[in-house]
A and B are shown apart, each in its own frame.
Chain A
Amino acid sequence: MSSSNNGTGNRNGSRNGHRPLRRGRRYSAWSLLQHGLSGADWPVTFRSHPKRDSYDVVIVGGGVHGLATAYYLAANHGIRNVAVLEKSYIGSGGSGRNTAILRSNYLTPEGVRFYDRSVKLYEHLAAELNFNVMFSQRGHLTLAHNDASLRTMRWRTEVNKLQGVDSEVIGPDEVKKLVPYLDTSSTTRYPVLGALYHPPGGIIRHDAVVWGYARGADAHGVHIHQKTEVVGIDVEGGRVTGVRTDDGHRIATPVVVNCTAGWSTLISDMAGVSMPVQTFPLQAAVTEPVKPFLDTVIVSGTLHVYVSQTDRGELVFGASVDPFASYSTRGSLEFAEGVAGHVLELMPALSKMRLLRQWAGLCDMTPDYSPIMGPTPVGGFYVDVGWGTYGFKAGPVSGEAMADCIANERPPEIISAFGLDRFEAGRLVGEKGAAAVGH
């Protein structure tokens, strides 16, 4: 792909890697004042374009992974003749349905390094994209309800510290100080014996991350085509030659990147590549807004629940995936009952709160709870899929690594363990830090 710079790839851009946003499009206190006084309309965040007949890279899926890949291809590697095809609106899949929790306190050194890079990118994302992504590093607590969890948490703490990630195990008294509403008495069904405290963890505005990457990619000349579903991928002689869309277009391209969640099997099937993936729904729910009282993220692996309070005051609840594979995103009463019961075990004071709504997103689960990233047996067909229940927090680092992988035609070290060939070869990557609870 590195050769594409002297072709159409430079049609829209300068030759250096970074191109600043055009005048008048930069958000600042000054532009806010200017627009406030003049009453003029703000320019659109990202533009629509007619489809070209060919692109250097076509990315399937306009979520955080797809848009970040497009952004870093353009910003870091100067590959700008890129299209992102999204069958609905951008961020309508997993990127807009997750519970927006970010953390890097994993169990394996590889996992910790990978997610720490993602948290670091998220920390500087607002400045880099000139877009407020509302990252709130409020601290992340994983509760231990038995000796085995406590032992694993001490293990995770040491692995984290060795990788320079801030984590420590704290006792019930300190947990109570951080979260006064939590029932830390010893008489509950699952008493809190301690917690893994991870101060850099927190929550972010997930839509803003999607919009920010879309705006950044657009500024570099990437085309974002919404309401464009891919219905076929053309493969000739073992190489990708183009994609066909539901509006009758045939786009010629030497590179197709599958950045979908939920549909990763169906898109890969079009290119004739089998995936070791099963699609499960993951449900979440949100309560009516109340005054701020919870300024950390609380996770309980034993109770399969995680809770945080948004800036609007709503409590966001998540759990583990549904008990059977499905493409259905209908909510279930079993989930609402289960999550409410588990939250009340932790915080009985919430018994009068009402659920506002619940929803589901689709998770592509792999056999080893690790993603599938990199090239496939079909030339020019790349995948960044199998993100299970932890895809959102990995968005920036995945985009950066996939862009590197496509530009240099080989997977960078940080994702080299996540190749599709590991399943038949028996080199599974066990990331138990991700498997502990579905998020």
Chain B
Amino acid sequence: MMLLPCPWCGPRNASEFRYVGETGPRPDPTTATPEQWRRHLYFHANPRGWVRESWYHRAGCRRYFAAERHTATNEVRSSGGHS
């Protein structure tokens, strides 16, 4: 079992959440080309190490938040609040 620190509900079982993925800056919708959008959608850092990512607490408060997780150990370091 893996616990995730929801900033509103406290530590809860990971099975209550939906994994959204790595967080990062979105391209500017007014200027981005289709290539830039595809790059943003499809390409990920996918590191073996610490990564900042978004989760959705679907079986709880149904809100999004960001957390840092080590992808080799699944250790969760901090809750980053709103994503």
A-side residues, CB < 8 A to B, are: 263, 265-266, 274-279, 323-328, 330, 332-334, 367, 423-426
How distant is B52 from chain A, measured CB to nearest CB, in Å?
Answer: 13
Query: Are A278 and B72 touching (Cβ within 8 A)?
Result: no
Contact code string B66-77 (vs A, CB < 8 Å = 1, else 0): 000001111000
Query: Are A424 and B44 touching (Cβ within 8 A)?
Result: no
Query: Are B74 and A326 touching (Cβ within 8 A)?
Result: yes
Give B41's nearest chain A residue, CB to CB.
A367
Give A426's nearest chain B residue, CB to CB.
B38
List the 7 closest A-B pairs by CB distance, nearest first.
A324-B19, A276-B42, A265-B46, A367-B42, A423-B42, A327-B72, A327-B48
Query: In the complex, which residues of chain B have a beta carbon less than 8 angstroms from the beta carbon of A328?
Result: 71-74
Query: Are A277 and B44 touching (Cβ within 8 A)?
Result: yes
Query: Are A327 and B42 touching (Cβ within 8 A)?
Result: no
Query: In the complex, which residues of chain A have a beta carbon less than 8 angstroms from the beta carbon of B21?
Result: 278, 325
Query: Are B43 and A275 touching (Cβ within 8 A)?
Result: yes
Query: In the complex, which residues of chain A have a beta carbon less than 8 angstroms from the beta carbon of B71?
Result: 279, 325-328
* In the complex with contacts A276-B43, A423-B42, A323-B19 CB distance below 8 A: yes
Contact code string B43-58 (vs A, CB < 8 Å = 1, else 0): 1111110000000000
How distant is A313 from chain B, measured CB to nearest CB, in Å?
Answer: 32
Query: In the complex, which residues of chain A have a beta carbon less than 8 angstroms from the beta carbon of B73?
Result: 328
Query: Are A333 and B1 touching (Cβ within 8 A)?
Result: yes
How distant is A418 from chain B, measured CB to nearest CB, in Å?
Answer: 14
How distant is B65 from chain A, measured CB to nearest CB, in Å?
Answer: 14
Query: In the complex, which residues of chain B have a beta carbon less than 8 angstroms from the beta carbon of A330?
Result: 74
* In the complex with contacts A424-B35, A426-B38, A324-B14 CB distance below 8 A: yes
Asked if B34 is at the interface (CB within 8 A of a chain A CB), the reply is: yes
Query: In the complex, which residues of chain B have a beta carbon less than 8 angstroms from the beta carbon of A425?
Result: 35, 38
B-side residues, CB < 8 A to A, are: 1, 14-15, 18-19, 21, 34-35, 38-39, 41-48, 71-74
Query: In the complex, which residues of chain A have a beta carbon less than 8 angstroms from the beta carbon of B1?
Result: 332-334
Can you pick out 15 interface pairs between chain A and chain B where the beta carbons lie within 8 Å of each other? A278-B44, A279-B46, A325-B19, A325-B46, A326-B71, A326-B74, A327-B72, A334-B15, A367-B41, A423-B39, A423-B42, A424-B38, A424-B39, A424-B42, A425-B35
Query: Are A423 and B46 touching (Cβ within 8 A)?
Result: no
Q: A326-B72, A332-B1, A424-B39 are in contact. List 12 more A-B contacts (CB 8 A).
A: A276-B42, A276-B44, A277-B44, A323-B14, A326-B74, A327-B71, A328-B73, A333-B1, A367-B41, A367-B42, A423-B38, A424-B35
Query: In the complex, which residues of chain B have a beta carbon less than 8 angstroms from the beta carbon of A277?
Result: 44, 46
Query: Are A426 and B34 touching (Cβ within 8 A)?
Result: yes
Tell me the complex Cα distance, A364–B65, Å: 25
How distant is B49 from chain A, measured CB to nearest CB, in Å?
Answer: 9
Tell me the complex Cα distance, A424–B36, Å: 8
Give A329's nearest chain B residue, CB to CB.
B72
Tell me the complex Cα distance, A330–B70, Å: 14
Query: In the complex, which residues of chain A have a beta carbon less than 8 angstroms from the beta carbon of B43?
Result: 274-276, 423
Tell me the complex Cα distance, A324–B56, Å: 12
Tell me the complex Cα distance, A328–B74, Å: 7
How distant is A376 from chain B, measured CB to nearest CB, in Å?
Answer: 13
How distant is A188 from chain B, measured CB to nearest CB, in Å?
Answer: 24
Contact of B46 among A275, A323, A333, A424 (CB under 8 A): A275
Tell me the complex Cα distance, A330–B72, Å: 10
Query: In the complex, which residues of chain B have a beta carbon less than 8 angstroms from the beta carbon of A265?
Result: 45-47
Query: Are A266 and B14 touching (Cβ within 8 A)?
Result: no
How distant is B58 from chain A, measured CB to nearest CB, in Å?
Answer: 11
Query: In the complex, which residues of chain B have a beta carbon less than 8 angstroms from the beta carbon of A426?
Result: 34, 38
Query: In the complex, which residues of chain B have a beta carbon less than 8 angstroms from the beta carbon of A423?
Result: 38-39, 42-43
How distant is A367 from chain B, measured CB to nearest CB, in Å?
Answer: 5
Query: In the complex, which residues of chain A have a beta carbon less than 8 angstroms from the beta carbon of B41?
Result: 367
Query: In the complex, which residues of chain B have a beta carbon less than 8 angstroms from the beta carbon of A276?
Result: 42-44
How distant is B46 from chain A, measured CB to nearest CB, in Å?
Answer: 4
Tell me the complex Cα distance, A276–B44, Å: 6
Query: In the complex, which residues of chain A have a beta carbon less than 8 angstroms from the beta carbon of B42?
Result: 276, 367, 423-424
Query: In the complex, which residues of chain B have a beta carbon less than 8 angstroms from the beta carbon of A278?
Result: 21, 44, 46
Query: In the complex, which residues of chain A have a beta carbon less than 8 angstroms from the beta carbon of B72?
Result: 326-328
Tell me the complex Cα distance, A124–B77, Å: 52
Query: In the complex, which residues of chain A have a beta carbon less than 8 angstroms from the beta carbon of B14?
Result: 323-324
How distant is B66 from chain A, measured CB to nearest CB, in Å?
Answer: 14
Tell me the complex Cα distance, A327–B14, Å: 16
